[in-house]
Structure 1
């Protein structure tokens, strides 16, 4: 896991390191994106990932990636990881999200029942150059902007505002005491008070409704939406192929074995929780399980939802156990320090998030095929709300991009050398302008890669289905 290796250097020495990096890697050089002729075929990269996934679910992944260049991008973290490995970096490392596209920034609940804004998805988290997360975020903003019909100047404005948010926030963090950086978080209600005067009335009302709705997305709402009663017993409602309960997925003997393994997973993963949370988990009993298809990039990885009940049928806890495979960044940067991929995900999430899911943990499970697989576990839904990129106007996406940039800076400042990064970025907009040009170039390449997948499906090379 990435750690600050210059903890005992003086602030002046750390700032000097950042400024010195400009000589070797000018900020303007980050606009460069010129993949060579040996760049791997993007469809081959996706197919290699798919080889370790559940075969009958892989066509769903391709179907989702076909829908638009933006949805393709969301599933193409492995492709971009290879591309980023060939781009300039300042040499300053931090813990990366690894998949910092705009829809991985959202509202979520803290254990103290505060609605927060933070990064959410950490499947690809890994130590690496801080620039890689910034570039993936900004590329996603351009691709989403193109999908919404934004003009080139509007897209440039969105990206530059996002990078400025990152740069100015990092400068603020550089001046803070270490512990104050770790205390920093974005409370959604406080954020609303700041943003409401900058938003159009209609947009402000929509944001207010989003905050209210997020608080309704709890376990009781999940119980009503995802379950029903059979013979007086609460059971997960089938929604094939996206949600399939165990009793509909496998024959009796295999189902019994898998059910036992998942019960062992719930009991075993408790070791990764703090003692108080283990005590809370022990008050729940497992009542049903189902396979679930999630996301875009994660489709095909093994994912289970597990329904537990506490004091009665109206005291539910939905856990999601998701397979953790190697990070898409693993082959292109320093080792993570973890042999257990679930622990890698959890440790990265705890390091980067201001506050994490109280039931977040990990476990290793031996599957029906005899292979060991790593999982991480978290609550299925708890006050979460995902932004709707396709409905954002340019002014709203500018504000959202700035918020994402500042949030990413806070996440990086917790593990990386915030003083060196801030000194490297400086006070000018040189880096901002470079990333805006990079993001446009990468959006061009992403559209080309998306067309390659469309052609592969049309030619019968891969199979895609809508679900």
Structure 2
């Protein structure tokens, strides 16, 4: 049993971490051999889509067929089942659950500082720390191959992700509790990763654009004035005005969401008025879940607040791991985000909607930005992967036993070499799964609408 509580000494926690090497030796993380009973990946995706909006599923499949990396983004359920088939350490953290490269990025703290961190928590759930590391490293390998890098360069980038994690956890293991909790990664750390002057200017420009991505900026992009009133523009099928029944339901559940905010934020929210709402298609893996955006206005119509209301379903990890502390899926997402992120959206909240469906709320645009992975040089991908691994370590250190994990990982490079081996092998598996989806579309088993 793991030593817990204030009485557990660092030495006891470290011993527990080293003992986990008997259950899952560090070199064992290199393995990936699919079992004969491995589920068909297309069948996994179809099962996941049964409770989604059926008319939107062709968009999901169309986006996933675009490339192996796009497939990986939408196939968190497939990889969760694969990870569950392997031995694991038992060293539990609050997992992101979908820690691929594009689920890291820029966001604003309540103090309006720009941070680099995880930014997607739909699949968050307690589980073995290495599952997030392996998904990150696999995404690096898939992205590197898609960029046309030599295999040695791809391996180096995958190793860098795991090395960033190992070194980050070991550094934080020696720090106090408040120091770990207050740990931040400032967005300006992205600039030194870029070698050439031209790319550095583009990176600085990206930070500037992220700082401008606010509700006020979205007002000009997403709305128009109709009969003197602001309305969200139509862009079917990606952005559709909410129907009368949806509009009534959104107004009704607004007060329930409000109750999950801190008191001072309820007061702030009360200064805004409900103006309009629309259904929005978002992401890759999320397509088909119910998602809306709501336009609120404050002092006047030029003082907007855009909120996103997204359906929360069961995490893809839940069928493979013990239950977590939250019954409500929206509560699970919100609590996981607050725990893993260095600073969370002040309007993050959750509630139950029509037909008992769970939702969570957040700001639609709040100085958010993401990296252009496809435009990176091999060396830039290495540096970016290392930064993502460091950010993941910071997130895990808030919920898991960082001392035990650091002791398990140790000072040698055994873990990152093994994870890189896994990442390359899983990139091969992902390519086969992507081809299987292409074949299913060609055979008419599933319908895809590419390019939307």
Q: Corresponding residue for 2:202? A: 206
- 1:28-427 superposed matches below 5 A: 28-189=27-188, 191-192=189-190, 195=192, 199-246=195-242, 250=243, 255=244, 257-366=245-354, 371-427=355-411
Report if aligned partners of 1:6, 1:14 keep a CA contact under 8 Å in 2: no
Report if aligned partners of 1:53, 1:302 keep a CA contact under 8 Å in 2: yes
Structure 1 residues 7, 394: closer, same or farther in 2, change over 3 A? farther
2-structure distance, mates of 1:85, 1:192: 33
TM-superposed deviation, 1:89: 1.5
Does residue 436 (structure 1) correspond to residue 420 (structure 2)? The answer is: yes
Between Structure 1 and Structure 2, how many residues are aligned?
A: 450
Report if aligned partners of 1:109, 1:382 keep a CA contact under 8 Å in 2: yes
2-structure distance, mates of 1:69, 1:325: 25
Structure 2 unmatched runs, 5+: none
TM-superposed deviation, 1:207: 1.1
TM-score normalised per structure 1: 0.95
TM-superposed deviation, 1:462: 0.6
2-structure distance, mates of 1:8, 1:47: 48
Report if aligned partners of 1:285, 1:309 keep a CA contact under 8 Å in 2: yes
TM-superposed deviation, 1:6: 4.6
Structure 1 residues 10, 4: closer, same or farther in 2, change over 3 A? closer
TM-superposed deviation, 1:268: 1.4
Per-residue CA shift, 1:385-418, capped at 9, x if unaligned?
A: 1111211111111111010000000000000000
- Aligned partner of residue 259 in structure 2, secondary structure: helix
2-structure distance, mates of 1:5, 1:319: 39
TM-score normalised per structure 2: 0.98
TM-superposed deviation, 1:12: 0.4
Per-residue CA shift, 1:21-68, capped at 9, x if unaligned?
A: 223321000001111110001000000011010010011000000100
Deviates more, 1:376-385 or 1:19-28: 19-28
2-structure distance, mates of 1:132, 1:235: 43
Q: Corresponding residue for 1:462? A: 446
2-structure distance, mates of 1:226, 1:178: 43
Per-residue CA shift, 1:68-97, capped at 9, x if unaligned?
A: 000000000000000000122111100000
1-structure distance, mates of 2:298, 2:324: 37
Report if aligned partners of 1:65, 1:296 keep a CA contact under 8 Å in 2: yes
TM-superposed deviation, 1:243: 0.2
2-structure distance, mates of 1:192, 1:213: 14
2-structure distance, mates of 1:4, 1:113: 39
1-structure distance, mates of 2:258, 2:270: 9
2-structure distance, mates of 1:291, 1:25: 45
2-structure distance, mates of 1:188, 1:387: 11
2-structure distance, mates of 1:126, 1:337: 9
